[in-house]
Amino acid sequence: MVLDTRQLLLQRGIAMLLRHGYNDLGIAALLEETQIPKGSFYHHFESKEDFGLQVVDLYMKEVHGGLDQCLRDAKRSPLQRVRHFFEMSEEKYRTEGYLGCLLGGLGQELSGVSQAFRRKVEQCFNEIARRIAVCLREAIDQGALPKETDPDKMAELLVNCWEGAALRSRLRRDPAPLREMLDFYFRNVAA
């Protein structure tokens, strides 16, 4: 299937924003790489900011796809499903050369100055944590987590610690920080 122009720009945008961040990404470089004329870019996107926000939407579509695949997997226990989602994320990071998570990158770079990105990225983390919390609640119901566990808090904590590990993984181009974080979390969340 041939991607249409808009999709092609957004797909390439994910990879380029992951490496360069937002301010270092040149629209001219993006157009040269994709061989798409400038007028066409501004036909599809109002501005660079509009483009960046739509790249985040596409990234989140992929994240939700991964969550669908992992969290609905009836062959695994609820906790195994959650862990599997993060292991699949690690596998995705590997194919990209361990550049970490686009949400963490844009969140750090832009949330001091851009309300639009600050709100968008916070909303993305919220959505991910909410879906994980559903699975943790199931684990509580099945007795795999203590009854007094707060699934919302524990889901937020997991997402947040993962983002810190993803930063360190990006600095080192190494999956070890991601694995050690997951080991610690899952060893202790059930304790």
- Binding interface with a copy of itself (CB under 8 A): 18-24, 99-100, 104-105, 107-113, 118, 121-122, 125, 153, 156-157, 159-168, 170-172, 177, 180-181, 184, 187-188, 191
Least separation, in Å, of the C-beta of 162 and a copy of itself?
Answer: 7
Least separation, in Å, of the C-beta of 125 and a copy of itself?
Answer: 7
Least separation, in Å, of the C-beta of 65 and a copy of itself?
Answer: 23
- For helices 5-20 and 48-71, give the axis angle rounded to 10 degrees: 90
Name which of 37 and 97 has its Cβ closer to a copy of itself.
97
Contacts of 42 (CB under 8 A, 6+ apart): none
How many whole angstroms separate alpha carbon 86 and alpha carbon 66?
9
The whole-angstrom distance between residue 34's C-alpha and the CA centroid of its chain comes to 24
How many whole angstroms separate alpha carbon 71 and alpha carbon 63?
12
Name which of 73 and 152 has its Cβ closer to a copy of itself.
152
Backbone angles phi, psi at 83, to 5 degrees: -60, -40
Name which of 43 and 153 has its Cβ closer to a copy of itself.
153
